Amino acid sequence: MNIAFWNTNRKADINKYLIKLIEWKNIDIMVLAEYKANGNELINELYTKNLYYNLVKTFSCNKINVIAKDDISCTLHDDNTYYISLKIERNNLNFQLFASHLSSNLHDGENERKIVVQEMKNDISKHKNALIMGDFNSNPFEESIVAFSGLHALPTKEKTERTVKTKKKEILYNPMWKFFGDFDTIPGTYFYNNSKDVNYYWNIFDQILLTHDFIKYLEDEKLEIIKEIKDINLIKNKVIDKNISDHLPIFVSLKEEY
């Protein structure tokens, strides 16, 4: 099963890129943040290409939109301001999908994001098989992601849990760490240049996390930060082309049998 996430930056014309992306990468579930285009037009345009998708209806969360192939069962469980939770079923694959878009530093800081992710982590802990994805507006090394009091997501498959002050909590696996480094000219999903004391330039705000029991379904080699969509380059002058979006999409593939 192929799943992608993209913060589309409220671009009204993003559907033409989404259609190309969905068709090119054979996306089964497309999760969107800051999507302000017409979802029904997207579904109808895909239909003309013999691609059959449904919009997933949410109620409280206007930060996340999801479309899924019509042979996938998507049942909404949690739906609040910052994230949604869907039960996903197709063939032998059955898991919980959490999709989130947290506030940026313009509105909140790490402490405020930790408050939100604490609630989300409590919900995640109810499920053995869970995939968590979204724009967390924090890097994998920042507190809301790595802290015991946050999502508690670390770059290790071996360690399953940790105890702090006699309290035990499961560790989530964060495979996005592998994209850090100068080995690639595009080591992130979001580029931001500032004159502050600390400036990372490239950030990995858009991430995919997994519960330990669900790691076995991950196809590691297919995890990807998408830099081009077929013949369309999402990078211009070594930074993200903001005429398309200010974030790059991320892509993950799951084994449907294990």
258 assigned to some structural domain: no
Least confident among 4-13, 74-83, 126-135: 74-83
Placement of tokens 């993200």 in the chain: 240
177 assigned to some structural domain: yes
32 assigned to some structural domain: yes
Placement of tokens 């989530």 in the chain: 172
106 assigned to some structural domain: yes
Q: What is the pLDDT of residues 4-39, one digit of tens each?
A: 999 999 999 999 999 999 999 999 999 999 999 999
Strand order, beta sheet including 206-210 = 73-79, 83-90, 93-101, 130-135, 206-210, 172-173, 153-154
This prediction has a pTM of: 0.95
d(CA 33, CA 101): 6
The DSSP string of 217-253 is GB-GGG-EE--EETTEESEETTEE-TTT-SB--EEEE
Burial-class residue 185 by CB neighbours within 10 Å (0-12, 13-18, 19+): exposed
User: How large a percentage of the chain has pLDDT more than 70?
Assistant: 97
Number of domains composing the chain: 1
Q: What would the mean pLDDT of 239-252 be, rounded to a whole number?
A: 97
Q: At 223, which CATH number? A: 3.60.10.10
Q: 119 is in which domain, residue-wise?
A: 2-253
149 assigned to some structural domain: yes
Amino acid at 239: V
At 175, list the tokens: 């495979």
At 141, list the tokens: 């090394």
What is the CB neighbour count within 10 angstroms for residue 224?
Answer: 15
At 113, list the tokens: 């994001």
191 assigned to some structural domain: yes
Q: What is the pLDDT of residues 199-227, one digit of tens each?
A: 888 999 999 999 999 999 999 999 999 99
85 assigned to some structural domain: yes
114 assigned to some structural domain: yes
